[in-house]
Amino acid sequence: MEVPSRWYNIIPDLPLPLPPPVDPPDRDSSSIELLNQILPVEVIRQQFSADRWIDIPDEIKELYKNFGRPTPLLRARRLEEKINTKSKIFFKYEGALPTGSHKLNAAIPQAYYAKKDGIESVITETGAGQWGAAVSLAARTVGIKSTVFMVRSSYDQKQQRRYLMEMYGARVIPSPSTTTAFGRSVHGSGSGSLGIAMSEAIEYALKTGAKYLVGSVLEVVLMYQSIIGLEVIGQLNEIGEEPDVLIGCVGGGSNFAGFTYPFIGSNAKGRFIAVGPAEVPKFSSGKYRYDFPDTAEILPLIKMITLGADFEPPPIYSGGLRYHGVAPTLSMLIQQEKVSSREYGEKISAEAAKMFAETQGIVPALESSHAVAAAIDEAKAADMRGTSSVIVFNMSGHGLLELDNYMKIYGDR
Amino acid sequence: MMAELVIYNTVGFPDPETFFKFVQGACSYVDALELGIPPKFAKYDGPTIRRSYVAVAGTDYMNLLSNVKCRAIALTYLDGLDLEKFLEMVRCTKAVMFPDLLIDHMNRLEEVTEAVKKMSLKNVIFISPSVPDTIIKSASRFADEFVYLGIRPATGVPTPVNVTKLVKRVRVIVDGKLIVGFGLKDNEEIAQAIEGGADGVAVGTSVMKVLEERGESEAIEAVRRLKEYVDSL
């Protein structure tokens, strides 16, 4: 299996036109113009491209290979035995990438295109640290500097994540910080949030002329992640399997979209299940409307399923699933019932993670454990119906750098 | 065949008198004038056109439109619009375009285009790059004036796009006349649109800026130069 040579863009294959980003109606300035200033040129061009296929530059392909792509598609035989199912359960293991999650797939092209613009430094924000680690490594790899605004509570608690970024050469700044005007305006008011960190990162990018890298939600990020699903299509072909169900967890939607869109776009049979946390009930309680993707309301409005940009997520451990919205294309596919959704509470998903670790040896990221829970339920449901299914889910990352969270959930044994 | 030139301005901008003088002068150089009526929410418009909507608030649009002697296309958004009243107001024009028709009101496509026809007006169907192939194909059949491809998400905001590629993709789907606009930033992009297969181009923000800052004479001259350039392609 070779690394795919093209990314897949679902825009021309959507059931309806995708509502474009719009400027807030009450402003004289343009938030869309802001994208011009902060994103690498080629990233914006690809964000607004209608091409179904976009060639992956050879340099990026080489980096994908270097870091372990294609990632393995594995069969969870011991899990199947444990739950005594007739179904086959496969998982795509994105945790095999060096930073432990799928995030590197989108960080590499953005850092590469930033370097192409002649930029020497990139900036981003990170919550739990997965995106920050991916950007740090990608920047180091292409030979530019990186600065990561890390939510202060994570900065203090997740020292291994922070150190991983620093090991790759990133400058990691706890947010709120005194580095930016926005940070100073809220400094001392608490442990920070992803919205504050994002605002600081964008302000700092504008001030320094660095480029800002985006971790999810934007269509171009989902397109970069399509490398996952394209590989899975090839890997399933090699073993002669055709999926009945594809499952992924959803924070902003990038790993789910990257995993499923190549299947959806090729009108593959089967169902697609997006799984979110019950504690951030965007599927069951969110509204499909224009909303800000960022809590600081800096970026353009996008039409998506949202709990509101001012939604304050409860302190669940799946940091990557606390986002208030769902990427616009995925929101539309859910609205059009091309993708179904469900929600699991943290207790249920953590139990699934434990079962997976006991049977397959891999500790899933808490985010990915939601997909594990859904895969187990799908297998059980097929058994109840007296059928067997081919179930494939995306293990978007491993949880080895968040064992402290598992300890908090299960208690120190 | 020579490429067509469509020029956009907001009705009454920058003031009724200048607007009228500009329209009179520009008419001889353009194939059509695209005239915007301020909507409740200027969804896909950049700062320049949004400002123009504020500047013309309270204008007697119907009166100004009825004095436009060249081919005019009225433009507004459907959100919160009283369609019947709007069509009555613009009935002296030749055609109508609603940029949000396919994007947010797809289920009203037949109803809206039928209402337009009943007023003896023609339909310009607006599509953006995010409109899927299947819908471009089916919706373009409702365009009895032309299909308008907006290449950028907001007017006057020069996000980097590959104009030729975007136009080529739509050209193979649309059989009828195809006009490209919504953010063409310079002559190079106009040439790229024509190279991609467009039958004509629409320009707005750049001419409006000249009109606002330097008056109607220079704006008309800018239109004349644009026409000369488009004819040379």
Any CB–CB contact under 8 A between A21 and chain B?
Answer: yes
H and E: helices and strands count for chain B? 11, 8
> Which of the residue ranges A103-107, A174-178, A387-391, A409-413 would you say has the lowest mean pLDDT?
A409-413
Q: The domain at A6-59+103-218 falls in which architecture?
A: 3-Layer(aba) Sandwich (3.40)
Contact list in B for residue A14 (CB cut-off 8 A) is 130, 132
DSSP 3-state assignment of A10? coil
DSSP 3-state assignment of B89? helix
Helix (H) or strand (E) holding A18: none
The domain ranges of chain B are 4-232
Query: How far is residue B22's CA from residue B218's CA, in Å, rounded to a whole number?
Result: 9
Query: How far is residue A249's CA from residue A393's CA, in Å, rounded to a whole number?
Result: 9
Low-confidence stretches of chain B (pLDDT beneath 70):
155-156
Q: Looking at residue B186, what DSSP letter applies?
A: S
Is residue A317 scored above 80 in pLDDT?
A: no
Looking at residue B156, what is its pLDDT? Answer: 67
Among A54-63, A156-165, A200-209, name the most confident range: A54-63
Query: How far is residue A152's CA from residue A141's CA, in Å, rounded to a whole number?
Result: 26
Q: How far is B199 from chain A (nearest CA, A)?
A: 20
Catalytic residue of the set B4, B31, B45, B100:
B45
Helix (H) or strand (E) holding A340: strand A340-344
Is residue A191 scored above 80 in pLDDT?
A: no
Q: Looking at residue B29, what DSSP letter applies?
A: G
Clarify whether B34 is annotated catalytic: yes
* Residue A412: pLDDT band with limits 50, 70, 90: low
Strand pairing category for A6-8 and A53-55: antiparallel
Contact list in A for residue B43 (CB cut-off 8 A) is 22
* Nearest CB to A20; choose among B41, B128, B161: B128
- Residue A330's identity, in one-letter code, is L
Q: How far is B220 from chain A (nearest CA, A)?
A: 27
Looking at residue A405, what is its pLDDT? Answer: 87
Q: How far is B148 from chain A (nearest CA, A)?
A: 15
* Nearest CB to A50; choose among B44, B159, B169: B169
Residue in chain A closest to B138 (alpha carbons) equals A16
Reported ipTM: the value is 0.82
* Nearest CB to B104; choose among A12, A19, A49: A19
Query: How far is residue A180's CA from residue A182's CA, in Å, rounded to a whole number?
Result: 5
Q: How many residues does chain A have?
A: 413
Q: The domain at B4-232 falls in which architecture?
A: Alpha-Beta Barrel (3.20)
Instruction: Please choose, from the candidates B226, B197, B204, the residue with its C-alpha nearest in 3D space to the C-alpha of residue B1.
Output: B197
Q: Assess contact for A122 and A131: CB atoms under 8 A.
A: no
* Residue A55: pLDDT band with limits 50, 70, 90: very high
- A35/B104 Cβ within 8 A: no
Q: How far is A114 from chain B (nearest CA, A)?
A: 14
The domain ranges of chain A are 6-59+103-218, 69-101+220-410
pLDDT tens-place string over residues A229-275: 999 999 999 999 999 999 999 999 999 999 999 999 999 989 999 99
Looking at residue A384, what is its pLDDT? Answer: 97
Query: How far is residue A126's CA from residue A133's CA, in Å, rounded to a whole number?
Result: 8
Query: How far is residue B166's CA from residue B150's CA, in Å, rounded to a whole number?
Result: 10
pLDDT tens-place string over residues A321-351: 888 899 999 999 999 999 999 999 999 999 9
Is residue A413 scored above 60 in pLDDT?
A: no
Contact list in B for residue A33 (CB cut-off 8 A) is 46-47, 157
Buried b (16+ CB within 10 A) or exposed e, B155-193: bbbbbbbbbbebbebbbebbeebbbbbbbbbeeebbbbb
Instruction: Please choose, from the candidates A244, A373, A217, the residue with its C-alpha nearest in 3D space to the C-alpha of residue A306.
Output: A217
pLDDT tens-place string over residues A115-161: 999 999 999 999 889 999 999 999 999 999 999 999 888 898 888 99
Predicted TM-score (pTM) of this structure:
0.91
Cis peptide bond prior to B129, omega within 30° of 0: no
Any CB–CB contact under 8 A between A17 and chain B?
Answer: yes
Looking at residue B154, what is its pLDDT? Answer: 74
Query: How far is residue B221's CA from residue B230's CA, in Å, rounded to a whole number?
Result: 14
Q: The domain at A69-101+220-410 falls in which architecture?
A: 3-Layer(aba) Sandwich (3.40)
* Residue A320: pLDDT band with limits 50, 70, 90: confident
* Nearest CB to B162; choose among A19, A21, A49: A49
Helix (H) or strand (E) holding A407: helix A403-410
The pLDDT mean for chain A works out to 93
Looking at residue A411, what is its pLDDT? Answer: 77
Looking at residue A195, what is its pLDDT? Answer: 79
DSSP 3-state assignment of B56? coil
Share of chain A above pLDDT 90, in %: 78
Query: How far is residue A147's CA from residue A169's CA, in Å, rounded to a whole number?
Result: 9
Instruction: Please choose, from the candidates B149, B154, B185, the residue with its C-alpha nearest in 3D space to the C-alpha of residue B168.
Output: B149
